[in-house]
Structure 1
């Protein structure tokens, strides 16, 4: 049978349960029957996955999402534009939404700063700091820069520079997930930001 380019890369997954208990195995053999609401589980997990195609989504539609739109906008352009110019555009476009992120402990802004820190050379830090100073209150901008960029330079901990970034070690991602859980974020949002599995985030609860 002819396979498309994408189909040929997908592995065949067959669920297998190996049981070695001493009592007769009497658990339902149907995967869906293992759920409290089988029909609801089948509806959510048995159909097509949800696709959020940021590249085909107009910027205006992303901006209307307000706080979630901050994440989608940054993800849409993070590889396509100079990252410092992206910061300028991002903060200008979402100026009215920054207070929403502040209520969540600047969870998105801090994540974007951690990511940016891994992508720009040392001599570009003054430019990033200037952008932050122009868009945040004094008490906030000092904290943001101290906890991200300046922290690494002042303490000289090069290994610490890898921790807590979006592409960092598992420990950093788990800390981000814990913080987001404490701020009331959904598991879906946490998965989008950290790349962790939903089961890993459930274990943190």
Structure 2
């Protein structure tokens, strides 16, 4: 499950212009006002050890300030269902790693470390109750606290934010909506309407968003997605739905989901074959449906595998017929 959150969040940040929109939307207003007009520059590398903190995904950006300086924005997604109380220490560790990478073997760079603002995005079930600075979890009285400096991060808890205020950009907003509701499972058609209304035809992000919804929302099917898309976007093509559905089918998810629901029965396998053929070639013709119904139960697994890769519906059956003749 965590991998799907990662893939969608990375897709959201892959385009520097879109990443810039997200950063401006969620930075404190006084800091956002200091940013220059240029898109942020993505920097190489991840500073999260996925073996220790598999629920984190991160991206580092450099942005120019209007006064000519440079600011680093460290964007993290925490995709646990509840806030992790260790976050202040984890974020501080990532900041140290970034500065260590900046200094490298040149100790003179220690004289001017780049400022970093961490943005921690969260979409879990419960509210964010974790302190936003390691200073807040140190057992010190006020006199000692005056000697300490903040290492504070900005919490971007997207759950309580009204849908229409998630972002100033419609497509960024459409990508955040599935993350916002993934632990709440709202009305699937209403969510699809909101998401499809904001996605741009031909956008690489659109396929990732729809794939994520097929994978993470059990009540959303390819048929539902096609129906809602036709209603919300009657003047546009179904291409982005088809591409997302095809990727989902190619990776075998539809087979696992439908067969699991059908508990391995023949009807469940037939449903999987029909779904694969409809997604790849359109409505299943009556003659193809008739041939499916005539297939013996021990041949359905072969038909199912072929339906995911065959060049045409006829090729699905030709392979089986060749085996029967041999």
Shorter-chain TM band = 0.3 to 0.5
Structure (1/2) with the larger helix percentage = 1
Structure (1/2) with the larger strand percentage = 2
- TM-score (normalised: structure 2): 0.32
Larger Rg: 2
